[in-house]
Structure 1
Amino acid sequence: MFDISLFPRYNFARAWSLASENLTSLEIGYVSSVMVTELLSPNVGPHQPPNHLQPSILPSLQRLCLSVDYITDTMVETVSKCLINLTHLDLRDAPIIEPRVTFDLTNSGFQQINQRGKLKHLSLVRSQEFLITYFKRVNDLGILLMADRCSGMESICLGGFCRVTDSGFKTILHSCSTLYKLRVSHGMLLTNLVFLDISATSLSLTHVSLRWCNLLRNQAVISLASNLDLRVLDLRDCRNLGDEALQAISTLHKLKILLLDGSDITDAGLSYLREGVIGSLVSLSIRGCKRLTDKCISALFDPSSKQELQELDLSNLPNLSDNGIFSLAKSRVPILELRMRQCPLIGDTSIMALASMQVDDHRSHGSSLRVLDLYNCGGITSLSFRWLKNPYFPRLRWLGVTGSVNRDMVDALARSRPFLHVACHGEELGTDHWDGLYMHDNEEMDELEQWLLEGGDESDDEEMEEVENNGEMVE
C-alpha cells in the first residue's frame, strides 16, 4: 500500500517494472487512465532493435481493480492485450467533465474486453460522484460484439450504460450460461422485458442488483423470483415497485439481503415478507419508502417467531414514530445495526426503549446493537444521552448523531466511552456489508465487562452529569 501521487508520471511505469512476477492481484484507489496505459504497454528495450518488445510486466496478474479518471478505449484495449491471465476486471471512473470521444469508452473499446475469453468477473461503472454523466458511446452493438467471448463469465456489473436497451441486457443473460451475479445501475432503458423469459434459461442467479432502474415494474421481480436460489436482491431506487413485488419476493426462502430503498411498498405489503422470508433475512433496508408507517414494524416482526435479522435500515421514513420503535424493541429481534436517520418523529422514547431491550438470554440492556444511526432525528434531546451512557448499549461501537445539537454532550459521551466511535457530521456508518466496521465477538472486549471490571468510569459519568445539569439550567 502506498500513495500513487508520490510518483511522477514518467517514473510510474518504471517503478512497476520492479514488481514481482508472481503478483496475482492489484488494486489502486485512484490512477489516471494514461498512467495505466503507460504502465502496461510493452516498451522498446535498451540496446534492442525497434521491432523488439519487452515482455509485459505483471504476467501472473489475475485480478485488477482500478479507480480512474476516465475509462477509455485505449486503456481497456491495453489491459485486455497485456494481462493475459486476467480473470477479474473491475474498473470505475468518475469524470469531472463530460468525456470527449478520445477519453471515453465506445463500442470499439467494449469489443476489446475479454479478448482471451478468460474473464470470470467484469465490472464497468461510471460513477456520478462529480458529474451526472453516462457511457453515451456504448449501445447494444457493443454488447453484441462482446457476447461471443463472455460465455464463461460468472459475474457482470454495468453502471451508467444509458444507451443499452433490453436487447443488450437480454444478450448478456442468454450468452452467459454460468452467470450467477448480475448488477446494473442507472439502466435507464432496462424494462420488464429483459426478465420475462428468464425461467427458460439455464441461469441460477444468486445475486441481483438493479439500482436506479426506474422503468422496472412489479412483473420484473415476479419473473426474477423464478431463481429460487437468490440470496441478495438489491432494488434500491426502483420507484415503481410495490406490494406485488413483495409477494413474489416472499417465495425466496434463501434470501439473506433485501434492499428496497425508495420503492412504493406499503405496510400491508411487508406482511408478505413475514409470512415468507423474514425468518431467513440477515439484512433489510426500507429507507425512504414514504408510504410506510409504524404499522410496518408489526407487519414485519412476530415476537413468537425466530428472527435472524442483523441489519435494519428505517431511515428517512417520515411517518415512523416512537411507537414503531417501541414495537421493534418488544419483538426482541437480535439486531446488530439499526439505522433510522432523518426520521423527524423519532425521539427520546425510542432510545429508552432500545436501551431497555433484552435479547435472548443477555441480561445487559440494549445488548445486541453495535451500530445505531440517529442522525437528524427530530425528537432527540439531551435526555437520550443519559441512556447512551454506560452501562446501556455495552456493545455499541458506532453511533451517528447530529453534532450541532448538544455538542458538549456529544464530546463528553465520546470521552466516556473509548470503545465508541461517535459520528456527528452526517456520514454513513458502514455502507459496505463486509467493510470490517467492527471486530468479531471473540476478538473484541465487551464494554460492559470492561466497565464493571474497572468499577465504572466515575469521572466521565460525573462530567456527563455536569453537562446534563448545565443543559437543563439553560433550558
Structure 2
Amino acid sequence: MRESKSLSLMFDVSIFLHHNFSQVWATASAKLAALEIGYISSVMVTELLSPTLGPQQPPSHMQPLVFPHIQRLSLSVDYITDTLVATISKGLMSLSHLDLRDAPIIEPTMTFDLTNPGLQLINQHGKLKYLSLIRSQEYLQTYFRRVNDLGILLMADKCSNMESISLGGFCRVTDTGFRAILHSCSSLQKLRVSHGIQLTDLVFHDISATSLSLTNVSLIWCNLLTNLAIVRLVTNLGLMYLDLRDCRNLGDEALQAIGMLPKLKTLLLDGSDISDMGLSYLRHGVMRSLVSLSVRGCKRLTDRCISAIFDYSSGKVLQDLDLSNLPNLSDNGILLLAKSRVPLMELRMRECPLIGDTSIMALASMQVDEGGWHGSTLRLLDLYNCGHITSLSFRWFKRPYFPRLRCLGVMRSVNRDMVDALERSRPFLCVACRGEELGTGHWDSDGLYGQDQEEVDELEQWLLEGEIESDYGEMGEGGSEEEMED
C-alpha cells in the first residue's frame, strides 16, 4: 500500500477486526488521497483515525495521523454518529470529499446516531466541497430522527463553499432547513435529497432570487412535491441531470417545464403520474439533448408513449431507455421503437406483461443506418419477467443478430437448456437470470464494450466456428437456419 494514491476495498473490513487494526494502516502510503471501503464499523473508523501514543512513548509523543493527505473518503458504516463525524472532520485536514452511508438493522440509540451538534462539526477545516450523508432503508425504515432544521442551519453556515450536497433520510428537516442550504451555499451545483418526507413546493419558492447554477438535482421519494416545484426548479436552465424517481404527484405540467431545458442529458421519472401526452412535451425540446430516460413504473403510459417521444428529428442521441414495469406497453410499441432507428445502447423492459417474441425479433433486425443493415446497437437488454417471451425468441440471439450485445436479462425458466446453450455459444455475453438489476454505467468506449460491430474477439470467433456451433443447433431446433435468417 506504500505507493497507492487511491484505494478501494469493496468488502466487509470488519471481519478482519484485530487488536492492532490501526497499526496495520500505518503501512499505507502517506500519499494516499482517496479511500473507499465497502463496509466498516463506525468504531473501527474512529480507532483508525484517532491519534494514539506510540509504544513506550511519553504523552507528548503522539503517533502521526494516518492518511495525512486524504482528500476523498467514502465509507459504508453500521451507524453514522456524532463521534464518527467529529473524528473524520477533525483528523483529516485535507478532506474535500466526504461520502458516508449507513443501513441500520435496529433503530439507533442516542450514542449511535447523528444529532444537531454532530452536524455542526462538519467541515472544521473549511475545505469540504462534496458532502453525502445517506441513511439507507435497506434493512429497516429508519431515519435521522435526532436532526431537525436547526442542525441543517448550523451545518449550512459552515458549508457556504460546498459544491455538492446529498442528504438522505432526514425526516424532521422541513423546507426551512433545505432552503438554508439553497440560500447559503452559493457555489452549489449538485443537490440530492432522498426520503425528504417534509419537503414541499415551498423549498423552491424563491430559488430564482438565488445565484445558484444547479446542474445536477435528485429529489427521490419526496412525495409532497408537485408540478409547481419543478416549474420553479427548472429556472436553472443549466440542469444536465434530473432525478425525480418516486415523486408520485408529478405529472404532465412538470414535463412541460422540463421540456424547455436545453442541456438536460439524464431524466429519471420512475413512478410519476405522467401520460403519453406529457411525454410529447419533451419531443421538440429536451429530446434533442437527452442521453438517458427512465419512465419505469409510470402506469398511465401506453404504446403511444413511443411515438410521443420519437419522431424523424427527436431522440436520436438517446442511448439509455428504461420502459420497465409498464403494464400497457406491448409489442406494437417496440415495433415503433425499432422503426425509429434510434441507436440505443441500453434498453430495459423488465416486468412488462405484454412484451413477447415479436419485440425481440423487431429489435434483432433493427436498422440504425440508412446505408444498410448493421444490426441492433444494443449492448444491454433487460427482458426479465416479460409475460409473452417464449423459447422461440432465443434463436434471435444467434449471430449475426445483436452483434454488440454484452448483457442480457431473461428468466431461465423460459427454457433452461436454451439459456445454457446461449451462455456457452456467446462467451462474452453476460446472461442474468435471477432478476438482478443490470449495470447502469455508461459503456467504456475504449474497452470491450466499445468493439466495432463487425469486430469479434479471436476466442469468440474460434468458439463460434468450432465445436460450440452445435449449441446453436440446439437453440434453433424447430426451424432451419434459412428460416431464421428470413
TM-score, structure 1 normalization: 0.94
Instruction: Confirm or deny that 1:111 pairs with 2:120.
Output: yes
Q: Tell me which of 343, 347, 352 is aligned to 2:361.
A: 352
Structure 1 range deviating more: 293-302 or 355-364 = 355-364
* Residue 9 of structure 1, CA deviation: 3.3
Say which SS state the counterpart of residue 477 (structure 2) adopts.
helix
* Residue 11 of structure 1, CA deviation: 2.2
Q: Deviation digits for residues 435-454 of structure 1, max 9, x if unmatched?
A: x6786478536466559965
Instruction: Confirm or deny that 1:444 pairs with 2:435.
Output: no
Q: Tell me which of 306, 320, 326 is aligned to 1:317.
A: 326
Q: Distance in 2 between matches of 1:440 and 1:365?
A: 20
Q: Distance in 1 between matches of 2:359 and 2:445?
A: 24
Q: Deviation digits for residues 213-239 of structure 1, max 9, x if unmatched?
A: 000000010001100000000000001
Gaps of 5+ in 2: 1-7, 481-486
2:194 maps to which residue? 185
2:209 maps to which residue? 200
Q: How does 1:21-170 map to 2 (within 5 A)?
A: 21-50=30-59, 52-170=61-179
Q: Deviation digits for residues 77-125 of structure 1, max 9, x if unmatched?
A: 0001100111100000111111111111111111111112210000000
Q: How does 1:276-355 map to 2 (within 5 A)?
A: 276-305=285-314, 307-355=316-364
Q: Which amino acid aligns with 2:398?
A: K
Whether the 8 Å contact between 1:311 and 1:335 is mirrored in structure 2 is yes
Q: Which amino acid aligns with 1:444?
A: Q
* Aligned residues with identical type, % of pairs: 69
2:427 maps to which residue? 418
Say which SS state the counterpart of residue 238 (structure 2) adopts.
coil
2:5 maps to which residue? none
Instruction: Confirm or deny that 1:20 pairs with 2:29.
Output: yes
Q: Specify whether residues 228 and 109 from structure 1 end up closer, same or farther in structure 2 by C-alpha distance, changes over 3 A only.
A: same
Q: Deviation digits for residues 326-348 of structure 1, max 9, x if unmatched?
A: 00000000100000000000000
Q: Which amino acid aligns with 2:308?
A: A
Q: Which amino acid aligns with 2:228?
A: Q
Q: Distance in 2 between matches of 1:455 and 1:20?
A: 45
Whether the 8 Å contact between 2:425 and 2:464 is mirrored in structure 1 is no
* Residue 10 of structure 1, CA deviation: 1.8
Say which SS state the counterpart of residue 288 (structure 2) adopts.
coil
Q: Distance in 2 between matches of 1:298 and 1:448?
A: 33
Say which SS state the counterpart of residue 202 (structure 1) adopts.
coil
Q: Deviation digits for residues 365-395 of structure 1, max 9, x if unmatched?
A: 5331000000000010011101111110000
Say which SS state the counterpart of residue 284 (structure 1) adopts.
strand
Number of residue equivalences: 470
Q: Distance in 2 between matches of 1:126 and 1:467?
A: 47
* Residue 173 of structure 1, CA deviation: 0.4
Q: Distance in 1 between matches of 2:263 and 2:475?
A: 49
Q: Tell me which of 251, 257, 260 is aligned to 2:266.
A: 257
2:471 maps to which residue? 463
Q: Distance in 1 between matches of 2:21 and 2:453?
A: 46
Q: Distance in 2 between matches of 1:461 and 1:447?
A: 19
Q: Deviation digits for residues 297-330 of structure 1, max 9, x if unmatched?
A: 0000003446100000000000000000000000
Q: Distance in 1 between matches of 2:294 and 2:315?
A: 19
Q: Distance in 2 between matches of 1:200 and 1:467?
A: 63
* Residue 50 of structure 1, CA deviation: 3.1
Q: Specify whether residues 181 and 428 from structure 1 end up closer, same or farther in structure 2 by C-alpha distance, changes over 3 A only.
A: same
Whether the 8 Å contact between 2:383 and 2:409 is mirrored in structure 1 is yes
Whether the 8 Å contact between 2:418 and 2:474 is mirrored in structure 1 is no
1:386 maps to which residue? 395
Gaps of 5+ in 1: none
Say which SS state the counterpart of residue 270 (structure 2) adopts.
coil
Q: Which amino acid aligns with 1:158?
A: L
* Residue 51 of structure 1, CA deviation: 5.2
Q: Which amino acid aligns with 2:120?
A: Q
Q: Which amino acid aligns with 2:451?
A: E
* Residue 48 of structure 1, CA deviation: 3.0
* Residue 20 of structure 1, CA deviation: 1.8
Q: Distance in 1 between matches of 2:176 and 2:315?
A: 43
Structure 1 range deviating more: 287-296 or 19-28 = 19-28
Q: Specify whether residues 85 and 466 from structure 1 end up closer, same or farther in structure 2 by C-alpha distance, changes over 3 A only.
A: closer
* Residue 471 of structure 1, CA deviation: 11
1:408 maps to which residue? 417
Q: Distance in 2 between matches of 1:386 and 1:365?
A: 18
TM-score, structure 2 normalization: 0.92
